[in-house]
Amino acid sequence: MDLTDDDVLKILKIIDESDYDDVRLEIGDFKLHVQKHGNAEHASPAAPSDNREKPHATAPAAVHAASAVAPPVTSAVPKAAEEEPIPDGLVVVRAPMLGTFYRAPSPGEKPFVEIGDKIGPNDTVCLVEVMKLFNSIKAGVAGTVVKILVENGAMVEHGQPLILIEHDLIDAPGKIQ
Amino acid sequence: MNAEGGIKRLFVANRGEIAVRIIQACRKLGVEAVVGVSAADRQSLAATIADRAVCIGPAPATESYLKMGAVVTAAKGTGCDAVHPGYGFLAERAGFQRLCVEHGLKFVGPSAAAIEAMGDKLQARRIAAELGVPIVPGTDHVRAAQDALAFGREAGFPFLLKASAGGGGRGMRVVRSPEEVATAFDSASAEARAAFGNPALYIERYVEHARHVEIQVIADSHGNIVHLGERDCSTQRRHQKLIEEAPSPVIDQDLRARMAQAAVRLAGHVGYTNAGTVEFILDLDSDAFYFLEMNTRIQVEHPVTEMITGIDLVAEQIRVAGGAPLSIAQDAVRFNGHAIECRINAERAERDFMPSPGLVTEWQPPAGPEIRVDTHCYPGYFIPPFYDSMIAKLIVHGKDRAAALSRMSRALGSFKVAGVHTTIPFHQAVLAHPDFRRGRGTTRWVEEKFMMQSRLTENLT
């Protein structure tokens, strides 16, 4: 099923005008889960521009640096998103789509995470916005935030590293690879 | 700012050879070029030669090249002031044009209204008919199979069922007898609904002996519109063009003038700006021509027109999108000699044109005077399996058709590619065929005659 951004906006508008707070739509492989007024993680009015409901990205956000298939950067062309080597043992959270990177649910609010914060795999670490659609990016692992690689408000490319996390091995023994 | 109008930095919303072609035109104009690439195209030639490449999404086109939001976000995020859509992908989506304009990006192409007017084939037919441009005899919207059957009983079989939202042969059926009507109607309608979201069908008379002849037009935003003559794209397979040439070997000065006048009238009526192509079908039995459709974008085969007119169509597109007037007037357009283009695809012609992606281990395109190769390939390039199989366009020029044909044969013979299969042997066989050399083949010649001659097919292996 091919969905355009316009279709998504239309669906969101229909849901927005409905009386339901939580909508789950499944058509074959296509699954959409929308919650109005945010959920536990986003109790405060979210989103830098308004408090529109957010479809939650389900893309796997984190991969082990050691096993990550980083896109080779061998081109001589100067690129804004020059990738620095990721130290061993750190987990990198990558942008699952191109968009604008936001560290906080809305301007002036506290960032989702700061360096040194302890986080769980389901904690939101940032937002990536494409055309007013805000995608929550999850940590994917339990650990400690070591580095934030992108400035708030910058455009990020698909697959660009955003945040480095030191994997908390004790908290997630089943996840050691 | 540069002298060529407002555009300073242009976002290339495409891939492959046309992305390379657009970047080269930008260079010539002093315009910076940013290209949006999928994860599979990070190492592409376009990504290497552009001022900047931005990864807009994963390999599947639906997740990258077709994502309007990602493209516009990337264009704005990199400080571009214009978007060139190339051909295919988002080039003929009126909604994309609107989204660009809403975000302050100039769209290198016509207005959304012009894209819509021509994108709906039934509407385009109505407009053409109103303007006195001949259309293939047929119907308006056919709502039910009985109506199609009634048409066949009255006008005769075979006829064509076509999708109003169609293109590229999708949602199209040849109906040869009353028994075929019901099945053809249902399947064409279902296919049109699935492919375009619009099941509307209409009928056209089936032209048995047809040539495909199209007129290139280009217009600026100051009311100037010129035509750059025709291209003959009759060498096709399953509605995919394989070889194009200009001028057409089958039309004379009078027919050319009438077709060009019809094309300019049509483009002018819809307030057309930028480059566009008005396609006609020429009935070889009657020498009558009929409007088929208008393509509201640059076309794959634009180089043959460039070779005989000396006009850089892509640079001209960027200039007029920036607000500059056309650099050419109609009475200054000159046609010089003959040009032919062969589309080189990574396909095995002898295996029903099966795609052949993979690593290009050797790549030595021909070079020399009056030889041009538009390509994104290089030695060591990996042709990804996700997209179109065209890997190069080989274009040659000559003082006349015979000179162009022999130059093309020599150029094909010296084109060295290894690692993947290509359609070079197919083109060599077509060029050697007497029917092709005579220039009288129809649009179904490749399928119905050339490929049926098994001896030739074997020679392709």
ipTM of the complex: 0.79
CB contact under 8 A, A159 and B39: yes
Q: Collect all residues of chain B within an 8 Å Cβ-Cβ radius of residue A158.
A: 38-39, 55-58, 64, 70
> Which residue on chain A is closest to B102 by alpha carbon?
A131
Q: Which residues of B touch A79 (CB under 8 A)?
A: 52-53
**Chain B residues touching residue A97 (CB < 8 angstroms):** 57, 70
> pLDDT value at position B348?
94
pLDDT higher at A15 or B261: B261
Query: Is B197 at the interface with chain A, CB within 8 A?
Result: no
Kindly list the residues from chain B whose CB atom is less than 8 angstroms away from the CB atom of residue A134: none
Which of A71, A133, A155 is nearest residue B39 as measured by Cβ atoms?
Answer: A71
Which residues in A lie closer than 8 A to residue B38 (C-beta atoms)?
A: 158
| Nearest CB to A158; choose among B43, B52, B58 | B58
pLDDT beyond 80 at B108: yes
Of A4, A78, A158, the CB nearest to B39: A158
Give the class (CATH, top level) of B210-458. Answer: alpha beta
What pLDDT score does B169 carry? 75
* pLDDT value for A17: 62
Q: How confident is the model at residue A80 (pLDDT cuts 50, 70, 90)?
A: low
Q: What is the pLDDT of residue A76?
A: 35
CA distance B52 to chain A (A): 6
C-alpha closest to that of B9 among B19, B21, B29, B18:
B29
| pLDDT at residue B9 is higher than 70 | yes
Whether residue A85 is predicted with pLDDT greater than 90 in this model: the reply is no
Residue at B126: amino acid letter:
R
Write out the catalytic residue numbers of B: 297
Determine the pLDDT at residue B170. 81
Q: What is the pLDDT of residues B198-212, one digit of tens each?
A: 999 999 999 989 999
Q: CA B456: distance to chain centroid? A: 28
* Residue B35 near chain A (CB below 8 Å): no
Taking CB atoms and an 8 Å cut-off, how many pairs form between chains A and B? Answer: 74
Q: Which residues of B touch A6 (CB under 8 A)?
A: 68, 95
Residue B8's contacts (CB-CB under 8 Å, 6 or more residues apart) are B1, B2, B31, B32, B81
Q: Are the CB atoms for A126 and A103 separated by under 8 Å?
A: yes
Question: In this predicted structure, what is the pLDDT of residue B181?
Answer: 95
Check CB contact of A153 with chain B, cutoff 8 Å. Answer: no
Q: Which helix (H) or strand (E) holds B303?
A: helix B302-309
- What CA–CA distance (Å, rounded) separates B339 from B245? 6
Vertex B72 angle, CA A25 and B23, to 5°: 135
Q: In this complex, is the C-beta atom of A76 within 8 Å of any C-beta atom belonging to chain B? A: yes
Cβ–Cβ below 8 Å for A71 and B42: yes
Cβ under 8 Å to A: B residues 68-127: 68-70, 72-74, 77-78, 95
Residue of B nearest to A4 (CA): B67
Query: What was the pLDDT predicted at B118?
Result: 95
pLDDT of residue A16: 60
> Are A158 and B56 inside 8 Å of each other by CB?
yes
Check if A151 contacts B (Cβ < 8 Å).
no
Q: Is the pLDDT of residue B79 over 50?
A: yes
Q: Check whether B26 has a pLDDT greater than 70.
A: yes
The answer for A 9-68 residues in CB contact with B (under 8 A) is none
Q: Is A5 on the interface with B (CB under 8 A)?
A: yes
Tell me which chain B residue has its CA closest to the CA of residue A101.
Answer: B77
> Looking at the DSSP assignment, which residues form a beta bridge with residue B344?
B392
The model's pLDDT over B184-234, given as tens digits with 9 standing for 90+, comes to 999 999 999 988 889 999 999 999 899 999 999 999 999 999 999 999 999
φ, ψ for residue B331, nearest 5 deg: -75, -5
Instruction: Mention the CATH class of domain B9-108.
Output: alpha beta
Q: Which residue type sits at A100? A: T
In this prediction, residue A36 has a pLDDT band, given cuts at 50, 70 and 90, of: low
Q: Give the mean pLDDT of A118-137.
A: 94
What average pLDDT does this structure show over A20-40?
Answer: 57
Domain locations in chain B as residue ranges: 9-108, 137-205, 210-458
Q: For the domain B137-205, what is the CATH code?
A: 3.30.1490.20
Partner-chain contact B52 A157, CB within 8 Å: no
Please list the alpha-helical segments (H only) found in B87-203: 94-102, 112-119, 121-130, 145-155, 181-196
Q: Quote the strand ranges of B167-324, DSSP E.
A: 173-175, 201-205, 210-219, 225-237, 240-246, 274-283, 288-295
Going by pLDDT thresholds of 50, 70 and 90, the confidence category of residue A142 is very high
Interface with B, mutate which of A98, A100, A128 (most B CBs under 10 A)? A98
pLDDT at B53 > cutoff 80:
yes
**At A63, is the secondary structure helix, strand, or coil?**
strand
Report CB contact under 8 Å: A97, B42.
Answer: no
B378 pLDDT above the threshold of 90: yes
Give the single-character DSSP code of B448.
I
What confidence category does residue A2 fall into, taking pLDDT thresholds of 50, 70 and 90? low
CA distance B78 to B35: 10
Q: Do A87 and A149 meet the contact criterion of CB atoms below 8 Å apart?
A: no
Q: Mean pLDDT throughout A64-71?
A: 34
Interchain CB contact of B246 with A (< 8 Å): no
pLDDT digits (tens, 9 = 90+) for B271-290: 999 999 999 999 999 999 99
User: Higher pLDDT residue, A162 or A76?
Assistant: A162
* Whole-angstrom distance, CA of residue B44 vs CA of residue B85: 17
B424 phi and psi, to 5 degrees? -60, -45
pLDDT in tens, A104-116: 999 889 999 999 9
SS3 B282: strand
Cα(B27)–Cα(B2) distance, integer angstroms: 12
User: Per-residue DSSP letters for B62-100?
Assistant: GGTTT-HHHHHHHHHHTT-SEEE--SSTTTT-HHHHHHH
The minimum CA-CA distance between B77 and chain A, rounded to whole Å, is 6
Picking from B78, B81, B116, the residue whose alpha carbon sits closest to that of residue B96 is B116
According to the model, what pLDDT value does residue B460 have? 54
CB environment B196-215: b (16+ within 10 A), e (fewer)? bebbbbbbbbbbeebbbbbb
What mean pLDDT comes out for the span B304-323?
98
Model pLDDT, residue B177: 94
Using an 8 Å CB-CB cutoff, list chain A residues near B57: 97-98, 158
Q: Is B156 on the interface with A (CB under 8 A)?
A: no
AA letter at A96: P
- B72–A133: do the CB atoms touch at under 8 Å? no
